[in-house]
Chains A and B, each alone.
Chain A
Amino acid sequence: MKIIIIGAGEVGYNLAMKLSKEGHDVVVIDHDPEKVRHIDETLDVKGVLGKGSSPGVLKAAGIGEAEMVIAVTDSDEINMVACLIAGTQSKIPKRIARIRNLEYTEESQIFDEQHLDIDLCINPEMETAKTILRLLEYPGSADFAEFADGKVELIGVRIEEDSYVVGKRLKELREVRDRFPDLKVLIVAISRNDRILIPNGEETIFMGDILYAVLDRHSIRNVLAYLRKKEEPVKRVFIGGGSHIAFEVARQLQDRGITIRMIEKDPARCQRMAESLEKVLILQGEITDQRLLREEGVEESDFFVSASDDEDANILASLLAKRLGARKTITLVRHLHYLPVLPTIGIDAVVSPRLSAIGRIMHYIRKGKILSVATLKEEDAEVIETVALDTSDIVNRPIKELKFPKGALIGAVVRGEDVIIPGGNDIILPNDRVVIFALQSAIPKVEKTLMVKLEYF
């Protein structure tokens, strides 16, 4: 499929890298010659210099044959105009735009077929706010994704030193699981020292590992309770910074009976926040101000969410809050190149608007062929959800007889309302939804095995 990406910023660059690696022909448009040169040289994609909203530039980028346009520049207006113009140049089947301003997304009829005709609007801030709320809801998980309409979940759990499972082998965990027939869970991967490995039963669990598990929705609390020490329910939350994301998180949390304190340094913004967030205590000051944090009782807080617009301050504030006694932290980071180092310095959970946007777009692109996808550890591994086709090699025979590629395994099968964590003797039937865990290198082979044709729409 030929895809045109407008904007070679971090989101555009990472999308181009992923899409090109998956075999799509990618052209990237940006007006910054340095960015175009960089993307042209480092990726197997074509860079075109110019404004994404210019008809001539779009034509030069080959809009005539493109099947999808993804506008991810920093400007909402340019993204919208680019999609509009792309539509007038040729009948592009799919158009995706990154739209930040909530005023636009609330007027969603402007994106319908009569007007801009944009198929998917991505609001990275909103996606991030959703992620943060999810992390607050299930405190032990460092990472998660939903599959099969939420029936199956993927969670990543960081193993702390006081966890019951440290030093245990995976097969011991499996024995525990088998004693409870209601517990439907499969540990699919371990992330250790920044690398993802697919463990066998002999693998020992160490402190600091992140276990990735595919599991039934109803099993989450029990599994989390087993893997970690008992979690207290969330009662007190500190939010550092008064950004859009922070506002959205606070707005949705305030009605759940949680005590929320928000710190923001800009007095005018504090005023606005205080006016619109009735049940939130707004504090004016720096989020890295130790005295302020201590005065307001950060040591008793269950969560410290650093979500200001300054990512460096966020990282510092999270470290500080943790040292002062906050139970958990969530840190908002904008630049993706920080991500690999953050767990090593003790940051628990990291969210990034860009990562959220990339994940959402990749998810959308694979729709049709693959129902849902989640990326672990930026790009090392993915969890794919798909429907087993009649024609596929995987149906109607025991799983142990399948020639499944190395680096991939079947995590869960959803048949109607039932969630099955399959063993070697289970059989996949046509129209089952299958959740597959795969390392990046195994994905092409997995796709081949699934016998899904290369047409995407």
Chain B
Amino acid sequence: MRLGMIFRITGALIFFLGVTMIFPLLFSLYYQDGDLWALGVSMAITMGTGALLFLIFRRTDQEISHREGFVIVVLGWASAAFFGSLPYMLAGVLPTFVEAYFEATSGFTTTGATVLAAIEGAPRGILFWRSLTHWLGGMGIIVLSIAILPFLGVGGMQLFKAEVPGPVADKLKPRVAETAKILWKVYILISGAETLLLMAGGMNLYEALCHTFGTMATGGFSTRNISIGSYDKAYFDGVIVVFMILAGTNFSLHYRALTGDFRTFYRNSEVRFYWITLGGAMVFVTLILWVETYDTLATAFRYASFQVTSIMTTTGYTTADFEKWPSFVQYSLVVLMFVGGSAGSTGGGMKCMRILLLLKQGRRELSRLIHPHGVIPVRLGGQVVSEGVIQSVWGFFFLFILVFVFTSVAMSLLGLDIVTAFVSVAATINNIGPGLGAVGPMDNYTSIPVIGKWILIFCMLIGRLELYTIIVLMVPEFWRR
């Protein structure tokens, strides 16, 4: 473990994060909400610390090892959240460290769980930063660094794999840096399209950008207290639904589609599974809401499609108080939280790919009972999936359940009711945001006790980095020579 190199790379990352603070600073200059000083100082501290770390530690040309990769990613994320929390504290929006750190982690991990009670009262520069953290964390700060910092090229694959969601990372180009660049370009392109469409519907640039960041990163921070519902405009609902679905789809496929290969969506069995699950859930929820809650089919479809998409893609925007919906719908939404988007997307959850592989593996076990001598490979889109990948998916599933059980039991130990304890963990570990009970769509996470907030911060981070990266650091063997 070469700590010098780890600090140096983390320093570069932090410096870079400081540079991105220029954007909220510009909005702050424009709106003059009194947060200029807070953002300026945060930017100076962040860039200064980053530059210092980068310069103090000597450069090494050696490749990053497997283990160092894990440490860099985790340290990078933890410190991004730390420096990301500075603006909240300095502006006095969230004065306590735990709340500011919670909000920043929630931003970078694209969770969208907030402890900000009066959103509309907060200065707009700060709110812009809040949404920007989503967008940076969505495609990944590490992936962005790989694309921009040339010295991460060799060995960058270790970092890339640790950050990109899904059991297998897809290389679009021979070089990791090129792959990272392409993913970010596609991300920027689609984000640009959404911003334009939202502005066409009447949002100003600031609001359009904030909501684009929330959608494309499947984050969920809004500039309004009651989220997208406050606009009450079917056009916005529609645009955001479409882009949430896109954001929950593998970005490698978007790249292939943009280069002319549209059938790539159809050929990819994970995306088929993702769209069928999403569509099926929409139909069911629409029908039930039509019978139980809303008068017309159209209204039922509007709210159902938005909420189902928002939860399954792990965005967490709301247009309706789904706690008032029938319990079947509420329960279905909680189940969808765990499924999540597809691998290689910005969505959270366990990812469709893993669920699909687990289903196929389960079916294979049944086939083996029927044909004890059968050699039955698991196939995905015609390709045989290696046993190593399947084992890793099983391991992931088990660890996920394990972490979920421990953290939700710990939450109930703090005195929360069962629904809140269960759903607050589900909504954070899957990077969604709003849940049920005390953390429902019309509430926020302020009421969670301090220790509970730290537990949820841990859940958000472990969910975004997909367990292994963080859990492996807790294994004593990892630190042994």
**Residues on A facing B (Cβ under 8 Å):** 2, 20-21, 25-27, 33, 37, 40-41, 44-47, 49, 441
- Some 12 contacts from A to B, beta carbons below 8 A apart, are A20-B174, A25-B173, A25-B175, A25-B178, A37-B386, A37-B388, A41-B161, A44-B154, A44-B155, A44-B175, A44-B176, A47-B171
Q: Which residue of A lies closest to B384 (CB)?
A: A33
Q: Contact at A44–B386, with CB atoms within 8 Å? A: no
Verify if B459 is at the interface (C-beta below 8 Å from A).
no
Chain B residues within an 8 Å CB radius of A37: 386, 388
Q: Which residue of B lies closest to A3 (CB)?
A: B174
Q: Contact at A41–B173, with CB atoms within 8 Å? A: no
Q: Output the residue of B174, B175, B176, B178 with the most chain A CB within 10 A.
A: B174
Q: Contact at A33–B156, with CB atoms within 8 Å? A: no
Chain A residues within an 8 Å CB radius of B295: none
- Shortest Cβ gap from B436 to chain A (Å): 41
Chain B residues within an 8 Å CB radius of A41: 157-158, 161
Q: Contact at A40–B174, with CB atoms within 8 Å? A: no
Q: Contact at B175–A40, with CB atoms within 8 Å? A: no
- Shortest Cβ gap from B451 to chain A (Å): 39
Q: Which residue of A lies closest to B157 (CB)?
A: A41
Besides A20-B174, A40-B171, A44-B157, 11 new A-B residue pairs in contact (Cβ under 8 A), listed by A number: A25-B175, A37-B386, A37-B388, A41-B161, A44-B153, A44-B174, A44-B175, A45-B175, A46-B174, A49-B383, A441-B61
What is the CA–CA distance of A20 and B161 in the complex, to the nearest angstrom? 19
Beta-carbon contacts of B150-175 to A below 8 Å, as 1s and 0s?
00011111100100000000010111
* Residue among A45, A49, A441 making CB contact with B174, cutoff 8 Å: A45
What is the CA–CA distance of A33 and B387 in the complex, to the nearest angstrom? 10
- Shortest Cβ gap from A13 to chain B (Å): 15
Q: Which residue of A lies closest to B154 (CB)?
A: A44
Chain B residues within an 8 Å CB radius of A46: 171, 173-175
Minimum-distance CB pairs A-B, first 4: A25-B174, A46-B174, A46-B171, A33-B386
- Shortest Cβ gap from B297 to chain A (Å): 45
Chain A binding surface, main DSSP class: mixed
What is the CA–CA distance of A37 and B174 in the complex, to the nearest angstrom? 14
A-B contact count (CB 8 A): 36
Chain A residues within an 8 Å CB radius of B383: 49
Q: Which residue of A lies closest to B158 (CB)?
A: A41
What is the CA–CA distance of A21 and B158 in the complex, to the nearest angstrom? 17
Q: Contact at A27–B157, with CB atoms within 8 Å? A: no
Q: Contact at B156–A44, with CB atoms within 8 Å? A: yes
What is the CA–CA distance of A46 and B177 in the complex, to the nearest angstrom? 12
- Shortest Cβ gap from B176 to chain A (Å): 6
Chain A residues within an 8 Å CB radius of B157: 40-41, 44
Chain B residues within an 8 Å CB radius of A25: 173-175, 178
What is the CA–CA distance of A210 and B176 in the complex, to the nearest angstrom? 38
Q: Which residue of B lies closest to A2 (CB)?
A: B174
Known: A44-B153, A44-B156, A441-B61. A27 touches B386 (CB 8 A): no
What is the CA–CA distance of A306 and B386 in the complex, to the nearest angstrom? 41
Q: Which residue of A lies closest to B153 (CB)?
A: A44
What is the CA–CA distance of A33 and B386 in the complex, to the nearest angstrom? 8
Q: Contact at A27–B61, with CB atoms within 8 Å? A: no
What is the CA–CA distance of A21 and B156 in the complex, to the nearest angstrom? 14
Chain A residues within an 8 Å CB radius of B175: 20, 25, 44-46
Q: Which residue of A lies closest to B175 (CB)?
A: A44
- Shortest Cβ gap from A279 to chain B (Å): 52
